[in-house]
Amino acid sequence: MSIFSIVGKNEREKKTESVQDPIKLAVLRNFLAVLQKGFSKRKILLRWSRNIQAANRTWVYTYDNGGNILSKTEYAYTTTGTVGTALSSKTFTYGDGGWKDLLTAVNNTNVTTDTIGNLLTDGEWTYTWQHGRQLSGMSKSGTTVNFSYDADGLRTMKTVNGITAKYIYIDGQLTDVTKGSDTLHIDYDSVGAASARQGDGSFVLRG
């Protein structure tokens, strides 16, 4: 089961302390990019708990007042409000005096960006971009990821080492994700809160 909690920007300060949160920065960025049509762009991901065999972890994120992610901390899987001892942690630094939200380091290791702020390298991954801020690919030792988009800029495919996930939309809203014989279906209520179910359980998005 994967459980997501998402709050609006104006709720961040009061909820970050009591609600925890997700995965690798690149994976988080990709997943949010896919889902961005499903909720307000002002909303942020606070917690992701995932108990399938490949993960079995809960990840907690913190942010500054501008919405920049400051840290990601990994814990043993839990769905309660209390997490145990941290298993690992990653920090993010924004050290450019003239560009307050430009990422400059991850775990105190300098990163590189292009002239408009797109991440190029972070010490582990190398990123490529198209049409300005559209992520077209990312790679590291042993792993290559490519992305495809439709004419409206919605991500339609993600391919990891030859294995492809496809994204299906209705009226610009993500409704299904398919990967081989597996399908994740997403429903939205009248206020835009999303819920979905997949083979290993379900995840919940709350807006």
Choose among 113, 139, 141: nearest CA to 126.
139
Structure tokens at 189: 């209520």
Contact between 61 and 69 under an 8 Å Cβ cutoff? The reply is yes
Q: Give the Å distances, CA to CA, from 205 to 63, 167, 172, 188.
A: 19, 17, 18, 9
Average pLDDT over residues 132-151: 96
pLDDT, position 55: 66
Question: Encoding tokens for residue 7?
Answer: 């709050």
Which residues lie across from 147 on neighbouring strands? 158
Q: Quick check: 108 and 96 in contact, CB under 8 A?
A: no
Number of Cβ within 10 Å of residue 100's Cβ equals 11
pLDDT bin (cut points 50, 70, 90) of residue 195 is confident
Joined together, the tokens standing for residue 45 give 């991901």
Give per-residue pLDDT as tens, 85-94.
999 999 999 9
Give which of 134, 138, 139 is closest to 154, Cα–Cα: 134
Domain, as residue range, for 91: 2-204
The structural domain count of the chain equals 1
Which residue is listed with tokens 């450019």? 96
Percent over 90 (pLDDT), the chain: 41
Between CA 87 and CA 59 the distance in angstroms is: 10
pTM of the model: 0.64
Give mean pLDDT, residues 126-149: 96
Whether the per-residue pLDDT at 191 is higher than 70: the answer is: yes
**3-class SS of residue 124:** coil
Read off the tokens for 70.
Answer: 């400051």
Residues 111-122 pLDDT 10s: 999 999 999 999
